[in-house]
Structure 1
Amino acid sequence: MALYEHVFLARQDITPQQVDALVEQYKGVLEANGGKVGRVENWGLKSLTYRIKKNRKAHYVLMDIDAPAPAVHEVERQMRINEDILRYMTIAVEKHEEGPSAMMQKRDRDDRPRRDGDRPDRGGFGDRGPRPDRGDRDDRPRRPREDRA
C-alpha cells in the first residue's frame, strides 16, 4: 500500500463536531477499502488567501493515509460530491513525518532572530544616527535678506 498525506478544507459555517464527523466518514471509507488512517490533525478555522465558493475561511484537516490507490480515489470522489468540502489535495509521500506537522508547531517568538540583527542602540535617531557634522541649524549665521523696494 502507498503512503499519502491528504488535506481538505471544509466550509466555515459547519461546526467542529461536523468536521470530526466528516473525518470519521472518510476514515470509514478508507478502512472499508483496505486502507488505514494514521495521524489526523485538525488545524482549525483559518482565513483563506482568496475566496473559494463565497467562503473567506475554512476548517483545515490533515490526514496521514496508508491505503491502496482505489481507496484514495473513492475518498476523493466522495469529497467532490460533498458540498461541505471546498478543496482537497492528496500527495504521495515516501514516509509519514513523525511528530506534529509544520502548521501545528508553535514557534516561540523569543527563539526567532531579531529583524534588526545585533545593531547597537542608535539613541532614537532611526537609521541615520547622530549627525555631528551638521550642528544645530539655528546657530549658523544667516545672510541678510536683500530688501527689494
Structure 2
Amino acid sequence: MNNYELMVIFTPVLSEDEFKASQKKFMDLVSDNNGQIQHNNPWGLKSLAYPIQKKTTGLYWVLEYSAPSDFNEKLKIQLLRDENVLRHMFTALDKYAVEYNAKKRSGVQTGNEKAVEA
C-alpha cells in the first residue's frame, strides 16, 4: 500500500449536496478497492490561476489515502469520465510527507516555523 494525495477541482456550478456526493463517490471508490482514507479536506470555492472551460473559479477538494499502486489508473479513468471534474492531480507521498501532513493536521509545530511571542 502506497500513500497518495489527490487534488480535484470540480466545476463551480455544483450545489453543496452535489459537491458532497461527488466527494463521496470517489471516497467510496477508494474504499471499495482495498484503499484507506487518511484525510478528506474540501477547500471550497477558490479562484483558478487561469480559465478552464471558460470558468474562473472551481471547487477544490484534497483527499489523502493509501491504496495499491495499480488503483490510481482505475481512479484516473473515473475522474476523466466525470464531467464535473475540471482538473485532478495525484501526488505520491513518502513517509516524511505523511508525517508532516499528520503533524500539520494536529496543529503540532514542525520546527521550521518561529514561535510567535504574545
TM-score using structure 1 length = 0.64
| Counterpart amino acid of residue 83 in structure 1 | E
Aligned to 1:145: none
Equivalent residue number for residue 9 of structure 1: 9
Larger radius of gyration: 1
CA drift at 1:35? 0.6
One-letter identity of the residue aligned with 1:74:
K
The higher-RCO structure (CA 8 Å, 6+ apart) is: 2
1:87-139 deviation digits (Å, cap 9, x = unpaired)? 00001011321133xxxxxxxxxx7xxxxxxxxxxxxxxxxxxxxxxxxxxxx
Distance 1:94 1:17 in 2: 33
Deviation >6 Å, runs of 4+? none
Deviation at residue 16 of structure 1 after TM alignment: 2.2
* 1:87-102 equivalence runs, <5 A: 87-95=87-95, 96=98, 97-98=101-102, 99-100=104-105
What stretches of structure 2 of length at least 5 have no aligned partner?
A: 106-115
Ranges in structure 1 where 5+ consecutive residues have no aligned partner: 101-110, 112-149
SS, match of residue 70 in structure 2 = helix
Count residues in correspondence. 101
The residue correspondences of 1:13-24 to structure 2 (distance < 5 A) are 13-24=13-24
What CA distance in whole angstroms lies between the structure 1 residues aligned with 2:70 and 2:37? Answer: 15
How many angstroms apart in 1 are the aligned matches of 2:75 and 2:19?
15
Give the drift of 1:62: 0.5
Alignment RMSD: 1.2
SS at match of 1:64: strand
Q: Verify the 8 A CA contact 1:30 1:72 in the aligned structure 2.
A: no
Percent of aligned positions that are identical:
25
More helix by share: 2
Write 1 or 2 for the structure with the bigger share of strand. Answer: 2
Cα displacement string for residues 11-62 of structure 1 (whole angstroms, at most 9, x for unaligned residues): 0100122111111111111111111111111111001111001111000000
**TM-score, scaled relative to structure 2:** 0.80
Alignment of 1:89-128 (within 5 A): 89-95=89-95, 96=98, 97-98=101-102, 99-100=104-105
Question: Equivalent residue of 1:69, what SS?
Answer: coil
